[in-house]
């Protein structure tokens, strides 16, 4: 069955445009409850700080309660926090209202099962199969109840802190934390402060509209400037829902997801905790593959999307993987990507080795990559378009085996991502621009037909 609404990370779109309307959210909640807890149960609902979160929270609360499920309203908490708290509070499933790193006028809804894992494709397809039906309303005696449990977020804070080695704290570290004015704005600074770090918070003043706006993991310039300005040991940038991370070293340089994977993989190899291969994606920098190869660590590439990284990790018995964007999986600690947990693991390596983040990341040399997002009216397989293919083949011949071309539709936005990787940054940028123009032409032709 072809899924109409669920993408790589739940249902997502522009607020007020299908499917992100209150009416659709009500039906989605009703359908999810019928599939995931048909006899009534408990569902945990969390969100980020978007203005539309109030509307969607009310809509899905009504849908769940009408279908007979009890609703626990957590309020703003990172997506991985909801995944953890679903298990901790004994819920049948969880729902998160967030559009992650997207701007505030987007929003989305995604689900976790009772184990804190994202739903299998088969379950999402079954939910979609009910979306053309009205949201169910049970008789009064069978309706669910709703209650607020936002004070329970301290349990998630304690869990994050406990992922550090026993007896370790962060005393002596001066850290800047940028929460993207998003879901982690309360818990992340508190966890670091409770661990005795000297904390400088930025991006921790949400107003409903400023989530991911010039801050967070997708806009690290503010963090870079602040780290250098206050002479911090490191900076941590999360995205709007707290599942992605990039870091900044004491020199003000960005350390991305690939480099963080290298740091953690090398440390895991040294202390014997690394299991199986490290899993990246087709977008992971070739420099990561080379650096891991030098250490004798196997490296596999999955399709873009943390669910595909997780699938390969499970198939091959791995525990560490993720994406260049900073969506990393540390399965020894969590079931889903958790930016704060990843940050704590990197800080633990810094503490144990006495090395700076700059020194730890120096063992991986990043090859120049250039990515262009081509906005389209509707997604299409650009790699199957004959005209685009001709241009791509020409670029690949020019790279002569010393670079890569990746074309893929975004799973969360109406864009085609064009990525070219090679040894010379200028050449890579020109090749990417050439392919992007071919994709723009192909997209325009499709829109006109």
In a domain, residue 416? The reply is yes
Q: What is the pLDDT of residue 2?
A: 61
The answer to whether position 157 is within a domain reads: no
Confirm whether 147 is a catalytic residue: no
What pLDDT is recorded for position 1? 46
pLDDT of residue 286: 87
Q: Is residue 225 part of a domain?
A: yes
Round to whole Å and give the CA distance between 194 and 382.
Answer: 49
The answer to whether residue 426 scores a pLDDT higher than 80 is yes
Residues 424 and 337 in one domain: no
Say which residue the tokens 């709007």 belong to: 240
Among 317, 344, 361, give the residue marking a domain's end. 361
**Whether 18 and 138 share a structural domain:** yes
Q: Model-level pTM?
A: 0.89
| Domain count of the fold of the chain | 3
What CATH number did the domain enclosing 404 receive? 3.30.310.50
Q: What is the pLDDT of residues 5-55, one digit of tens each?
A: 998 789 999 999 999 999 999 999 999 999 999 999 999 999 999 999 999
pLDDT digits (tens, 9 = 90+) for 357-394: 999 999 999 999 999 999 998 778 888 899 999 999 99
- Residue 63 sits in the same domain as residue 199: no
* 156 is a domain residue: no
The reply to whether 295 and 410 lie within a common domain is no
The whole-number pLDDT of residue 200 equals 98
pLDDT band (50, 70, 90) for residue 307: confident
pLDDT band at 400 (very low <50, low <70, confident <90, very high): confident
Residue 169 and residue 271 in one domain: yes
State whether 179 and 203 are in the same domain.
Answer: yes
- The phi, psi pair for 342, rounded to 5°, reads -60, -45
Site of tokens 């921790």: 204
Query: For the residues 345-356, what does the mean pLDDT come to?
Result: 98
Give the pLDDT score at 424: 92
Domain boundary among 125, 151, 177: 151
Whether residue 1 is contained in a domain is answered as: no
The pLDDT value given to residue 61: 98
Higher-pLDDT residue of 214 and 283 is 214
Considering the candidates 2, 52, 98, 100, report the single residue annotated as catalytic.
100
Please compute the mean of the pLDDT values over residues 196-212 and round it to a whole number: 98
Q: Is residue 107 included in any domain, yes or no?
A: yes
Answer yes or no: do 209 and 335 share one domain. Answer: yes
Q: Is residue 33 part of a domain?
A: yes
The pLDDT of residue 127 is above 90 = yes
Q: Do 398 and 323 belong together in one domain?
A: no
pLDDT tops 90 at residue 56 = yes
Asked if 375 and 273 sit in the same domain, the reply is no
Instruction: Let me know whether 134 and 245 are in one domain.
Output: no
HEC profile of 291-340: HHHHHCCCEEEECCCHHHHHHHHHHHCCCEEECCCCCEEECCCCCCCCHH
Q: Is 244 a residue whose pLDDT tops 80?
A: yes
Q: Are residues 147 and 259 in the same domain?
A: no
Domain shared by 308 and 400, yes or no: no
Question: Of 76-85, 185-194, 398-407, where does mean pLDDT reach its minimum?
Answer: 398-407
**In this structure, is residue 337 part of a structural domain?**
yes
Q: Which of 128, 151, 174 is the last residue of a domain?
A: 151
pLDDT at 134: 92
Range of the domain at 80: 6-151
Q: Is the pLDDT of residue 107 over 50?
A: yes
CATH number at residue 275: 3.40.120.10
């Amino acid at each position: 069955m072809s899924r109409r609404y669920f993408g790589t990370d739940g249902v997502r779109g522009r607020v007020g445009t299908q499917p992100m309307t209150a009416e659709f959210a009500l039906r989605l909640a009703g359908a999810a409850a019928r599939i995931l807890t048909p006899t009534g149960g408990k569902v945990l609902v969390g969100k980020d700080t978007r203005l539309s979160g109030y509307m969607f929270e009310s809509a899905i609360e009504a849908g769940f309660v009408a279908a007979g499920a009890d609703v626990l309203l957590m309020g703003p908490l990172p997506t991985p926090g909801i995944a953890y708290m679903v298990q901790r509070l004994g819920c049948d499933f969880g729902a998160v209202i967030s559009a992650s790193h997207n701007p505030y006028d987007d929003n989305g809804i995604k689900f976790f099962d009772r184990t804190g894992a994202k739903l299998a494709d088969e379950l999402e397809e079954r939910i979609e199969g009910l979306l053309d039906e009205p949201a169910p309303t049970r008789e009064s005696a069978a309706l669910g109840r709703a209650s607020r449990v936002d004070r329970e977020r301290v349990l998630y804070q304690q869990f994050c802190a406990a992922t550090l080695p026993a007896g370790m704290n962060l005393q002596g570290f001066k850290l800047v934390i940028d929460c993207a004015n998003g879901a982690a704005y309360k818990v992340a600074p508190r966890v670091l402060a409770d661990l005795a770090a000297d904390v400088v918070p930025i991006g921790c003043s949400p107003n409903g509209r400023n989530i991911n706006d010039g801050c967070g993991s997708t806009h690290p310039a503010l963090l870079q400037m602040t780290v250098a300005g206050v002479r911090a040991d490191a900076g941590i940038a999360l995205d709007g829902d707290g599942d992605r991370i990039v870091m900044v070293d004491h020199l003000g340089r960005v350390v991305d997801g690939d480099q963080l994977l290298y740091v953690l993989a090398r440390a895991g190899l040294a202390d014997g905790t690394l299991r199986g291969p490290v899993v990246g994606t087709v977008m992971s920098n070739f420099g990561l593959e080379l650096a891991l190869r030098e250490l004798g660590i196997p490296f596999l590439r999955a399709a873009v999307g943390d669910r595909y990284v997780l699938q390969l990790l499970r198939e091959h018995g791995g525990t560490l993987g993720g994406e260049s964007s900073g969506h990393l999986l540390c399965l020894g600690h969590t079931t889903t990507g958790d930016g704060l947990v990843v940050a704590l693991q990197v800080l633990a390596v810094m503490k144990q080795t006495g090395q700076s983040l700059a020194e730890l990341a120096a063992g991986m040399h990043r090859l120049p990559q250039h990515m262009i997002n081509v906005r389209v009216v509707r997604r299409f397989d650009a790699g199957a378009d004959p005209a685009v293919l001709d241009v791509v083949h020409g670029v690949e011949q020019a790279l002569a085996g010393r670079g890569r071309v990746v074309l893929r539709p975004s799973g969360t936005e109406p864009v085609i991502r064009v990525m070219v990787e090679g040894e010379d940054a200028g050449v890579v940028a020109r090749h990417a621009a050439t392919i992007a123009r071919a994709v723009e032409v192909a997209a325009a032709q499709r829109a006109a037909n």
